[in-house]
């Protein structure tokens, strides 16, 4: 059986390689003009159409004051437990995108994320520029994180992927979609990942508040003490401004319901 599965995997990989060779692998570095005055960001028509083609997204509905809170976890720096405490206290869902290093060194926190109802997303095992790796390594980078997460949390399926370094291509969008992943980018971020260059909680707070906008996918790094210290105030003050926090699952489910196929199925029930 194992031999048969290996042969099937090899054939599938060969076919996938042929297909992916037909699309561009030119690297794209995710970026956009930052929001101000609560105006939703715009990545531009070209990026919008490319992401839509592969079911990827970087923001929610710009007409709804909803925030999707996400964290990138490359390694543990002692602040994730505090972040989880705040989320639990404020009843806010989040998504944590983890690497292999984080999976191995902070398995207790990964389990806690899942146990407390948060999404655990894939950030690749070794955090490479995914546009530079082979199709086989692309698969293994993601599958190793998924399998390791399942072993710790019991959650079999990983749905969301955030590309390491924010670098992607049409090829990597295609490869991820073939594996059942949805690329999740972001519409609000700032430089917060230098653990030896912390500026105080007000720095994090100010950067979030001045860029916030309806439908924001907010990216924070848990290595930042500033973020951990500011998070509770950020959440409380955004709630006062009329914002609510929702899970990525609620957004993707909402998008699926807009699909004509969904509407046909609903009518036929």
User: Does residue 250 form part of some domain?
Assistant: yes
User: Annotated catalytic sites, by residue?
Assistant: 72, 221
The mean per-residue pLDDT over the stretch 29-33 comes to 93
Residue 253: per-residue pLDDT: 85
3-class DSSP state for residue 236? Answer: helix
Tell me what the mean pLDDT of segment 219-236 comes to. 98
Residue 212 and residue 243 in contact, taking contact as beta carbons nearer than 8 Å: yes
pLDDT at 267: 39
Output 52 or 266, whichever has higher pLDDT. 52
Position 93 in a domain: yes
Is the pLDDT at 11 greater than 50? The verdict is no
Query: Which CATH number is 208's domain given?
Result: 3.20.20.370
Radius of gyration for the alpha carbons in the chain, expressed in angstroms and rounded: 19
What's the pLDDT at 2?
47
The answer to whether residue 185 scores a pLDDT higher than 50 is: yes
d(CA 136, CA 140): 6
What pTM was computed for the model? 0.88
14 occurs within a structural domain: no
Is 26 inside any structural domain? no
End-to-end, the C-alpha distance of the chain in Å comes to 39
3-state secondary structure of 192: coil
Question: Looking at the domain assignment, is residue 152 inside a domain?
Answer: yes
* Residue 269 located in a structural domain: no
Range of the domain at 173: 54-257
Residue 128 belongs to some domain of the structure: yes
Give me the pLDDT at residue 222, please.
Answer: 97
Q: Tens digit of pLDDT for each residue in 82-134? A: 999 999 999 999 999 999 999 999 999 999 999 999 999 999 999 999 999 99
Q: What is the pLDDT of residues 35-85, one digit of tens each?
A: 999 999 999 999 999 999 999 999 999 999 999 999 999 999 999 999 999
* 131 found inside a domain: yes
pLDDT at residue 22, as a whole number? 86
Q: How many domains does the chain have?
A: 1
- For residue 173, pLDDT over 60 is answered with yes
């Amino acid at each position: 059986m194992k031999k048969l599965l290996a042969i099937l995997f090899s054939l599938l990989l060969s076919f996938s390689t042929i297909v992916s060779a037909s699309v561009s692998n030119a690297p794209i570095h995710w970026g956009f003009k930052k929001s101000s005055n609560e105006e939703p960001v715009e990545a531009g028509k070209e990026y919008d159409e490319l992401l839509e083609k592969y079911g990827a997204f970087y923001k929610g509905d710009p007409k709804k004051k909803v925030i999707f809170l996400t964290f990138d976890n490359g390694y543990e720096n002692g602040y994730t437990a505090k972040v989880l405490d705040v989320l639990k206290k404020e009843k806010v869902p989040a998504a944590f995108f983890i690497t292999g290093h984080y999976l191995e060194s902070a398995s207790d926190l990964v389990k806690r994320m899942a146990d407390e109802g948060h999404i655990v997303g894939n950030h690749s095992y070794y955090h490479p520029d995914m546009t530079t790796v082979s199709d086989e390594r692309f698969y293994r980078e993601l599958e190793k994180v998924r399998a390791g997460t399942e072993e710790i949390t019991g959650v079999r399926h990983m749905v969301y992927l955030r590309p390491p370094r924010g670098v992607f291509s049409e090829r990597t969008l295609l490869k991820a979609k073939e594996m059942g992943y949805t690329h999740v980018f972001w519409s609000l971020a700032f430089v917060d990942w230098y653990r030896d260059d912390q500026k105080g909680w007000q720095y994090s707070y100010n950067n979030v508040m001045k860029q916030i906008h309806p439908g924001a996918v907010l990216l924070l790094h848990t290595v930042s003490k500033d973020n951990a210290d500011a998070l509770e105030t950020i959440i409380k003050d955004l709630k006062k401004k009329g914002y609510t926090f929702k899970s990525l699952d609620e957004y993707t489910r909402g998008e699926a319901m807009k699909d004509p196929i969904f509407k046909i199925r609903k009518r036929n029930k």
